[in-house]
Amino acid sequence: MIIFESNGEIPKDVMATAVVSAMKKKYPNEDIVVTTLAPEIWLHNPNVYRVYNLHSIQYFYDDYIKDKNPTIFKYDPYRETDFITQKKHVIDIWCNSCKVDRNNQMPEIHFTEMEKEIAQNFIDLHAKGKKTCLIQPEGAVNIMPYPTPFSRNMHKKTVEEVVSHLKKEGYIIFVLTGNEQNDIQDTIPVKLPGFRETLATMMFVDKRLLIDSVAHHVATALNLPSVITWNTLTPKVQGYEMHNNIYPIADTDLITLEDNFVNEFRLTGILPEQKPTYSKEIHRTEEIIEALDL
């Protein structure tokens, strides 16, 4: 029996599926039990024996550890030197900690036919046969303290300019947003009852513009090439070559924020007393539009 813990944000869990896939190849006869804060990512995964929510494991110790002989993998790649110094990909760091070879394993997610049908029906209802693009301009709220917008999100002006271009080209634009209110004009918020159905909508659109967040990793798991914007992290650490990766403008305020604040926060967890701000756009809008038009 193997116990594997993935404790953190949802994108981390999607990457963890690649680690468990590599682990299953090394230990094909072992049952793998996953403990996580995002069990929905692991549903129907053929490499996993059982999935437990870390908030609900009252009898877990008695069932899997006491008087048993499990192998326990309880590592956090975000606390490793190679992540903080941005030298290796999270999946590679994690596999190395668990002493398994990655063997080119990629993230996995396994949707049911019902989940896919619900997602497709939502897109078809609003698209009405027109071209479609899905945008995730920001991460979910309250996942991290206030550095989140600086470390991942797209600048609002950039999003509005991209949406304006896509609308002129005849696209219906769908938005995955962490806000309760979708304040991006001429777009349709993706609001489905289930989180998995919401993610599955990206299978049924023509194009995707995503930040470095959960949708990016799920698009990778589904082999859906997309346009991905990057801020303080890089594709080397959390990305994939299959996508068109857009880097920040070299002289943006964000670069200073990264040097003087974001990287330090990753290591120490200490926040400045005043919330930092930036005034310049993070990415060149024309570069994003060109990538989407390819």
Answer yes or no: is pLDDT of 232 > 90: no
The pLDDT value given to residue 269: 77
Answer yes or no: is pLDDT of 177 > 90: no
Question: Coil, strand or helix: which one is 25?
Answer: helix
Mean of the pLDDT values across residues 64-84? Answer: 91
The pLDDT value given to residue 238: 95
**What's the pLDDT tens digit per position in 198-213?**
999 999 999 999 999 9
Pair 157, 143: CB distance under 8 Å: no
**What's the pLDDT tens digit per position in 13-41?**
999 999 999 999 999 999 999 999 999 99
The pLDDT value given to residue 259: 75
Answer yes or no: is pLDDT of 48 > 70: yes
The pLDDT value given to residue 151: 73
Mean of the pLDDT values across residues 109-113? Answer: 98
Contacts of 38 (CB under 8 A, 6+ apart): 6, 9, 10, 13
| Helix or strand holding residue 133 (H, E) | strand 131-136
The pLDDT value given to residue 167: 96
Answer yes or no: is pLDDT of 129 > 90: yes
Average per-residue pLDDT for the chain: 90
The pLDDT > 70 percentage for the chain reads 94
Answer yes or no: is pLDDT of 127 > 80: yes
The pLDDT value given to residue 143: 46
Cβ atoms within 10 A of the Cβ of 210, count?
A: 24
| Domain 113-293 part of CATH 3.40.50.2000 | yes
Answer yes or no: is pLDDT of 109 > 60: yes
Answer yes or no: is pLDDT of 147 > 60: no
Task: Output the pTM of the full model.
Answer: 0.91
Give alpha helix (H) positions in 143-258: 148-151, 156-168, 195-200, 214-221, 235-238, 253-257
**What's the pLDDT tens digit per position in 180-196?**
556 788 999 998 989 99
Answer yes or no: is pLDDT of 173 > 70: yes
Greater confidence, 288 or 140? Answer: 288
Q: Where are the domains of the chain?
A: 2-97, 113-293
Greater confidence, 93 or 69? Answer: 93
Single-letter amino acid code for the residue at 4: F
pLDDT band at 12 (very low <50, low <70, confident <90, very high): very high
The pLDDT value given to residue 244: 97
| Helix or strand holding residue 289 (H, E) | helix 285-293
